[in-house]
Amino acid sequence: MEKDKVPQDTSNLTKNNVKELLYATDENGDYTTTLSTGWEPKTIALSNSIDEINERIADAKQQVLNGEVSPIVYFMEVNKMDLTILSSYVGFWKWRVKRHFKPSVFAKLNDKTLQKYADTFEVSIEELKNSITQ
């Protein structure tokens, strides 16, 4: 793409005047760098991804409120983690983390285990236990 044809579409995703570094060709046909505020297809894709993440967070919150899962599921979604990533952060096997998703098991976790989750999610144990239900 030629440097003068690099898209400069704006959206609500670029409200902080963030620009992306791209490679383009200059008037001599040599590669050079240039800045772009974005382009519509990328903006649409990012917006759809953010909407999906927000839906997953809302679903997880509702499941916690309904007593279907523990708050770990909610915080995992808020922090954009999956089971594998969370497992590696807290240092537990995936099957064990998945077991902690059960409200009855979560209620019996000791403070040492809860602290690992709290540290991972950058919240206190109290917030981990109660922030969703308030």
**Backbone phi, psi, residue 29, to 5°:** 85, 5
Tokens of 7: 């898209």
pLDDT at 129: 92
pLDDT at 45: 84
What CA–CA distance (Å, rounded) separates 28 from 9?
A: 25
71 confidence band (pLDDT: 50, 70, 90): very high
Least confident range from 2-11, 29-38, 68-77: namely 2-11
CA angle 36, 39, 45 (to 5 degrees): 130
Structural domains of the chain, ranges and CATH numbers in brackets: 3-38 (no CATH), 51-130 (1.10.260)
pLDDT tens track for 84-126: 999 999 999 999 999 999 999 999 999 999 999 999 999 999 9
Alpha-helix runs per DSSP H in the chain? 40-65, 71-78, 83-90, 94-100, 103-106, 111-121, 125-130
56 confidence band (pLDDT: 50, 70, 90): very high
pLDDT at 19: 75
pLDDT tens track for 14-43: 556 677 777 888 888 888 888 877 777 777
pLDDT at 104: 97
pTM recorded for the entire structure: 0.74
pLDDT at 7: 63
pLDDT at 101: 98
